Structure 1
């Protein structure tokens, strides 16, 4: 009993304290820095060392934060820990420069590596980011980033976004009602380059709902999209490539539930109007789409349908993709749609009622 009490007191001491002062040491001399609403998250993050945790207690934080310390954990205590944009021209002292850089770019949380060295081992967890002009959470140049139990709601562009990163895990997040993609993964957003190897990034068990696109995977290779629920968006899942080498693809989309992505979204300079798209492959190669349940996605777009193969917006065809063992029903204009002229695409073992062209079911 005494050992249990000592363990309990040590744990309690580690998360007790006012302000952002470091708590007493925990295992491996790592510290827990506790932040209360109204205090600066950035100050706590800047004070933390690799291996430390910055713990945000429940409440609303009107600020942004930039993480550049490796092996740092930034976590809240559930959805009631909420980050929103800072109030305009606050009377309080000016925010730290790092937070300004992230917030002035319209983002809530930024995880940023250097040009010549990725930031390793960061975890963002158990909090809500909402109302930011660009992304709720934006990461660039990361290695081994984990984002879990993050709720990203009503952000202007992306809920959660990442570029130039490897070995990431996005698990059990909710991205809802964001202006573009709920979850956006890309090689780079600033230039046209060949697809990059994510070295095994995993996107699993997320809820992506009410966005323009639930999940966009753009110009990437070697990742898995599994067991996600994608519903109520204008389009469910987009795997996007182009003419650059290496080509996008060599990835797996499996065991997802993709239903009723029937919102109507206007066209953009790069993409026609969207409605009723389940899973779309455009300009991709060697991608396996298997064991998904794709239902009731219907619309008038040339990208509408259950699982759709479509040449990219620059005219690059999709090649050697395998569409196998999926269950599809109620999609329109068809459950399976292949308007691509690329070679080696195969459709096998799917349960469906209608296809364009006929004979794919």
Structure 2
């Protein structure tokens, strides 16, 4: 492998930054430029807080772990492609920092600890594909931004985050991943109450061909807005359980959720999926509003336009509001309420068929 070199871009080097499609580095914060054949991980390891690692077009066969706060890892577009290493043993021997990320089957990992969250990392403008687990995986972060990332054909999640706050996921494409295109959770491997995300935003992403477009699991204080969700087995899942604090206080607004009719088989945790638009289960105080939801059709117990699904652990969905949505062509119905709780409200929705009748 060629030795990675680093270039400092000050104001006098603005022409170089412009030619690469990037702004010049600010005083005191170098930009480390990585070319095809060089190691992204080595540039990340050499960077200090506030630095930028700029990756030029090419195929990079490695996993990358970011633990430096304030770091920006940015490509110059979809032509920057990160794939699994052709020689995994050589890749892991080359840099121990990426071992856990690579061994876990992930592409890019942003990793903090419960006591020291990694803050203000940005990932932007690149493609991550072909990893056995996640294209992007983040844990114990605060203020992570993921924008313009394309996560395609990864084994589990396209872009995933747990145990984190104040994230922004904007303008990404997650396509043909094994589970959720975007997966956000309190914690993946433990039972505990919902995490207050501090206003995490999932906005203007394109999510298609996944098992589920967006999964929000055991979280509070989060917004899912203006996303285009199509061709998945299910569009949007908001999931809670019996732990406290309860999951909820989520806003799902102005999304386009259309033809999520791919068929996915039953798993140990979930019934077969097909034709689910937006599903709520075990949540409270969530607002579903001003969404366009049409032509989601299937014969799964979770099929329908907007579905309040009875929790697998018996936790009622309560005090949720479904209002001002535009629904059509969903089957078995545009609105489906399987809950026994009577504190959920359906108001001013444009729809034709509901179960039970009278919700439109």
TM-score normalised according to structure 2 size: 0.94
Partner residue in 2 for 1:121: 120
| Structure 2 CA distance for partners of 1:9 and 1:29, relative to 1, 3 Å | closer
After the TM superposition, which residues 23-102 of structure 1 pair with which residues of structure 2 at under 5 Å, given as runs?
Answer: 26-89=25-88, 94-102=93-101
For 2:90 and 2:224, locate their aligned partners in 1 and report how far apart those are by CA, in whole Å: 45
Aligned counterpart, 1:111:
110
SS of the aligned residue for 2:336 comes to strand
Counterparts of 1:97 and 1:159, CA distance in 2: 24
- Deviation (angstroms), 1:342: 2.0
Q: Is the 8 A contact 1:15 1:32 kept in 2?
A: no
Aligned partners of 1:114 and 1:135: how far apart in 2? 19
Distance 1:90 1:9 in 2: 42
Question: Residue 3 of structure 2 corresponds to which residue in structure 1?
Answer: none
Which residue of the partner structure matches residue 260 of structure 1? 259
1:1-361 pair list within 5 angstroms = 9-13=12-16, 26-89=25-88, 94-361=93-360
CA distance in 2, matches of 1:89, 1:319: 48
DSSP-derived class of the 1:98 partner: helix
Any gaps of 5 or more consecutive residues in structure 2?
1-9
Are the equivalent residues in 1 in contact too, given 2:77–2:125 (CA < 8 A)? yes
Q: Would the alpha carbon gap of residues 95 and 277 (structure 1) be closer, same or farther in structure 2, given more than 3 Å must change?
A: same
Residue 12 of structure 1: how far off its partner (Å): 3.0
Tell me the CA shift for residue 164 of structure 1.
0.5
- Residues 111 and 346 from structure 1, CA distance in 2 versus in 1: closer, same or farther, beyond 3 angstroms? same
Relative to structure 1, the CA distance from residue 91 to residue 359 in structure 2 (aligned partners, 3 Å threshold; closer, same or farther) is closer
Aligned 8 A contact 2:196 2:221 in 1: yes
User: C-alpha root-mean-square deviation of aligned residues, in Å?
Assistant: 1.8
Provide the C-alpha distance between the structure 1 equivalents of 2:86 and 2:45, rounded to a whole number of angstroms.
22
Structure 1's 359 and 39: CA in aligned 2 closer, same or farther, altered over 3 A?
A: same
216 and 210 in structure 1: CA distance in 2 versus 1, 3 angstrom threshold: same
Question: How far did residue 253 of structure 1 move?
Answer: 0.2
Segments of 5+ residues of structure 1 without an aligned counterpart are 1-6, 18-24
CA distance in 2, matches of 1:37, 1:349: 54
SS at match of 1:215: strand
In the superposition, relative to structure 1, how do residues 152 and 26 fare at CA in structure 2: closer, same or farther (>3 Å)?
closer
Contact 2:11 2:26 in 1 (8 A): no
**CA distance in 1: counterparts of 2:208 and 2:236, whole angstroms:** 11
Distance 2:17 2:333 in 1: 57
SS in 2 for 1:43: helix
Taking the aligned partners of 1:157 and 1:37, their CA distance within structure 2 comes to 27
Say if 2:283 and 2:317, in contact at 8 Å, map to a contact too.
Answer: yes
In 1, Cα distance between the equivalents of 2:260 and 2:300?
Answer: 12
- CA offsets 1:36-95 (integer angstroms, 9 cap, x no match): 111111111010000100000001000010000000000101000000000135668932
Q: 2:247·2:283 contact (CA, 8 Å) conserved in 1?
A: yes
Q: Deviations over 1:99-118 (max 9, x none)?
A: 22211110000000122011
Partner of 2:6: none
Bigger mean CA deviation after superposition, 327-336 or 85-94:
85-94
Contact 1:195 1:244 in 2 (8 A): yes
SS, match of residue 75 in structure 1 = strand
Aligned to 1:284, what secondary structure does the other structure show? coil
Moved more, 324-333 or 335-344: 335-344
**Matches of 1:40 and 1:78, distance apart in 2:** 18
SS at match of 1:360: coil
CA distance in 2, matches of 1:9, 1:31: 13
Structure 1 residues 305 and 108, CA gap change in structure 2 (3 angstroms): same
